[in-house]
Amino acid sequence: MDTKQKVFEICSAAKKASYEYAARSTKEKNHILSSIANALKENSKEILEANARDIALADANGVPAHMLDRLALNGGRIDGICDALRSLVSLRDPVGCGEVFSTPGGLWIECQRAPLGVVAIIYEARPNVTVDAAALCLKTGNAVVLRGGREAANTNLVLINVMKKCISECGQNPDILGFIEPGEGHESANALMSARGLVDVLIPRGSKRLIDAVVNNASVPVIETGAGNCHLYVDASANIDMALNIAVNAKCSRPAVCNAIETLLVHKDVAKDFLPKFAEATAGYSLELRGCEQTLRIVPEAKKASESDFETEFDDYILAVKLVSSVEEAVAHINKYNTGHSEAIVTNDEQNAEYFRKYVDAAAVYVNASTRFTDGGEFGFGAEIGISTQKLHARGPMGLTALTTQKYLIRGNGQVR
Amino acid sequence: MDTKQKVFEICSAAKKASYEYAARSTKEKNHILSSIANALKENSKEILEANARDIALADANGVPAHMLDRLALNGGRIDGICDALRSLVSLRDPVGCGEVFSTPGGLWIECQRAPLGVVAIIYEARPNVTVDAAALCLKTGNAVVLRGGREAANTNLVLINVMKKCISECGQNPDILGFIEPGEGHESANALMSARGLVDVLIPRGSKRLIDAVVNNASVPVIETGAGNCHLYVDASANIDMALNIAVNAKCSRPAVCNAIETLLVHKDVAKDFLPKFAEATAGYSLELRGCEQTLRIVPEAKKASESDFETEFDDYILAVKLVSSVEEAVAHINKYNTGHSEAIVTNDEQNAEYFRKYVDAAAVYVNASTRFTDGGEFGFGAEIGISTQKLHARGPMGLTALTTQKYLIRGNGQVR
């Protein structure tokens, strides 16, 4: 059997099992999650052994240190995964929530949240995502098909077996958790992208290259996540201390995450005051500044920014800097280069704040706060499947509701039209 | 300039104008709609002359009568279009609606509905859709790019010019209404499907072939509408008179629309009573029945159904009929063949009703009412851009809210993470 056939069989089995699973109660679904938390803890030894094999192999293959770190599990990290599962149990199940209304003709219409069906996720070598993503889908009554990075293959196989066993022991069909072994090349990912009618939504989690490949090639519905070319604009009226504090936080607290800023826009009237202080405040991070011509006159140690620097999500201690003459110019720059993730202004001018809020086209628009808050946990959703940078279905941090659709349930007593 | 370049230029102009238009007030947007209603009425003569040229050309090219009817305008139909515009003015604008919450760290978060940006619509030769679709998008703060069927080219050109003039006179940039002349072949449609970054959502309205082509080829986000392979299941416990009334209505009141049924599933215990009565009740419609073997034994005048009959949206006075032994068998058949549109059961058994509601995977699930009610107007939405048969973003009849996304607007006083 070739790869495509194998993938379609796994998806088809998940689809068949999904109808039954979609009707399960919150109690039944929570029971699966609790069982998985217990079982992962009990099987820690086996999980860590498999993970050690993955790490050794990846290390031998020259996988860089920061990727090895994401791949690595230990007792503490397994406890963290189990804690997350238990928190998920306590969250409200969106399935069945909704509104009811009646029509003049006497129809009683309930618009309820319902599971999507089969959610497929393509992700990189992060074993915590294997459990986390599966649990979010199972909590919301969805079947799930996972295709993780090949460097985590041994770890994932053990995790999947533990979870499938729990699902069976809870009386459910283990086909609701499908796992696609990565194999060589992109064949299995391509097959997933084309599994129309079997996959209700595909969520790519990972690099921009992965996400672009999925968006351009998938015929199944996709939710785009992740890419964040975020900006901070320091207005002429800004409180400079607040602006410094926010700028340092937004860039340097965790530069590799999607809600960190990549470009700093500074109003020319405050640049001479602000930029030298900012350069000083970030010296300890060895932050590399890439500035426009005007920036270079104020911060001569900065490198010259090219056009492509304004298009780049550096995910590193690098920041593009540009001086602007107005909030309008700042917003025009943002709407040209941003990826629709998170954008912030520091200002004491209410009109400029309002202009920024109205005209910036992004999932999250901040006034006087750091972009780093764009996160399901920070927004109080309790769990997050990713941050959507698209406009359809879900935009911004996606909680459990983003893993559901709606269903109109109509009752009559013989009405015809 | 080639077709692709032309399409991209129109979309790019719409995109640029969309940022400004997205911030317009409900009053300003309503003013445009009212002006268009007045202007269409005033320009009726020119519109009808252009329409007469389209009709003559289409007739000469052998376009079938039912398509000519959809293409044709007259005074009454223009009045109807103007009335629809005025109703739209009175509907609540979803933009800016939403919820607010605060975080323990003191951030104030507003989650507001916001325009999508640029909505592109590919549709067939129906001039009323040109005005209707444009108006729905303009009401919700979106720029719109229309690509209508070539048979309506003359009519559309006049309609577009009238609308663009109104937009300008209301002080807005007329680029928010883009119009793509159909030309020959599929080039312009293909260009629209690939206008990533310029088109925020593409809605195909028309034949299954058009919708499939868009879904399979588009790299821009798509909302699928329309295809309806709908079913009615007559349960063993059904009130036979009610079942007859609903079945006749669901099939024969307007067989060409997407919420009409294509297959009738009948429990074997009531088939001998129900089917002959149904055949008699539909005799006046010359309804052609295509039945399973068991059906043929009860209604010998029916033709034999093939597998493909159960997969087909006939859109005509043809109905597939199948006998089943249980609600479970009926639901399994529906979930295998349906397009996720509308499904109904007639029953007096509460357990069977509940099973049907829970397990059928469709946008609208009816108990004891006709599938024909799946419609924005019937559901009380006041306007409808189409009926979504997909699960992401919108499912079922799409009102104004389906033409919006959400935007998180966050205010702080210097918070960092």
Nearest 5°: CA angle at B164, between B161 and B165? 85
Check A407 against B365: CB less than 8 A apart: yes
Chain B residues with CB-CB distance to A255 below 8 A: none
Q: What is the 8-class DSSP label of residue B12?
A: H
Which amino acid type is present at position A133?
A
Of B242, B373, B405, the CB nearest to A414: B242
Give the alpha-carbon dihedral of A23, A27, A28, A32, to 10 degrees: 130
Check A239 against B362: CB less than 8 A apart: no
| pLDDT per residue of chain A (417 residues) written in tens, 0 to 9 | 789 999 999 999 999 999 999 999 999 999 999 999 999 999 999 999 999 999 999 999 999 988 899 899 999 999 999 999 999 999 999 999 999 999 999 999 999 999 999 999 999 889 999 999 999 999 999 999 999 999 999 999 999 999 999 999 999 999 999 999 877 678 899 999 999 989 999 999 887 788 888 888 888 999 988 789 999 999 999 999 999 999 999 999 999 889 999 999 999 999 999 999 999 999 999 999 999 999 999 999 999 999 999 999 998 999 999 999 999 999 999 999 999 999 999 999 999 999 999 999 999 999 999 999 999 989 988 888 999 999 999 999 999 999 999 999 999 999 999
- Chain segment B302-315, per-residue pLDDT in tens: 999 999 999 999 98
Check A245 against B367: CB less than 8 A apart: no
Of B365, B372, B407, the CB nearest to A363: B407
In angstroms, the separation between the Cα of residue B219 and the nearest Cα of chain A is 5
Q: Could you identify the residue written with the tokens 């320091």?
A: A234
- Chain segment B15-25, per-residue pLDDT in tens: 999 999 999 99
Beta bridge partners of B365: A409, B343
Cβ count within 10 A of residue B401: 14
Give the span between the Cα atoms of A271 and A85, in whole angstroms.
47
Q: Which two tokens stand for residue B10?
A: 């129109």
In angstroms, the separation between the Cα of residue B79 and the nearest Cα of chain A is 24
Whether residue A60 contacts residue A367, with contact meaning beta carbons closer than 8 Å, is answered with no
Chain B residues with CB-CB distance to A249 below 8 A: 416-417
Find, in chain B, the residue whose alpha carbon is nearest to that of A215.
B219
Which of A375-384, A407-416, B104-113, B358-367 shows the lowest mean pLDDT across its residues? A375-384
Check B369 against A107: CB less than 8 A apart: yes
Farthest-apart Cα atoms in chain B, separation: 79
Whether residue A171 contacts residue A32, with contact meaning beta carbons closer than 8 Å, is answered with no
Check A415 against B370: CB less than 8 A apart: yes
- A101-122 residues labelled b (16+ CB within 10 A) or e (exposed): eebeeebebbbbbbbbbbbbbb
Of A23, A369, A414, the CB nearest to B412: A369
A417 at B interface, C-beta within 8 A: yes
Of B23, B216, B410, the CB nearest to A364: B410
In angstroms, the separation between the Cα of residue B185 and the nearest Cα of chain A is 23
Whether residue B223 contacts residue B402, with contact meaning beta carbons closer than 8 Å, is answered with yes
Whether residue A34 contacts residue A89, with contact meaning beta carbons closer than 8 Å, is answered with yes
Of B105, B366, B380, the CB nearest to A101: B380
Check B392 against A392: CB less than 8 A apart: yes
Find, in chain A, the residue whose alpha carbon is nearest to that of B241.
A414
Relative orientation angle of helices A350-359 and B3-22, to the nearest 10 degrees: 140
Q: Could you identify the residue written with the tokens 């692709």?
A: B4
Task: State whether residue B197 is helix, strand or coil.
Answer: coil
Predicted pLDDT at A184 = 67
Residue of A214, A395, A403, A417 best to disrupt the B interface, most CBs of B under 10 A = A417
Predicted pLDDT at A382 = 84
In angstroms, the separation between the Cα of residue B254 and the nearest Cα of chain A is 10
Q: Which two tokens stand for residue B336?
A: 């295998």
A124 at B interface, C-beta within 8 A: no
Cβ count within 10 A of residue B154: 19
Give the span between the Cα atoms of A71 and A58, in whole angstroms.
9
Of B23, B250, B359, the CB nearest to A23: B359
Chain A residues with CB-CB distance to B219 below 8 A: 215-216
Where are the alpha helices (H) located in A111-177, listed in sequence order? 127-139, 153-169
From chain B residues 329-388, the ones with a CB under 8 A of any chain A CB are 335, 357-359, 361-370, 372-374, 378-380
- B198-229 residues labelled b (16+ CB within 10 A) or e (exposed): bbbbbbbbbeeebbebbbeebbbbbbbbbbbb
Predicted pLDDT at A388 = 94
Q: pLDDT-based confidence at B184, cuts 50/70/90?
A: low
Task: State whether residue A400 is helix, strand or coil.
Answer: helix
Predicted pLDDT at A400 = 96
Check A250 against B416: CB less than 8 A apart: yes
Whether residue B200 contacts residue B121, with contact meaning beta carbons closer than 8 Å, is answered with no
From chain A residues 130-159, the ones with a CB under 8 A of any chain B CB are none
Check A407 against B107: CB less than 8 A apart: no
Task: At B400, give phi and psi (nearest 5°).
Answer: -60, -35
B328 at A interface, C-beta within 8 A: no
Which pTM does this prediction carry?
0.92
Averaged pLDDT for residues B201-225: 87
B250 at A interface, C-beta within 8 A: yes
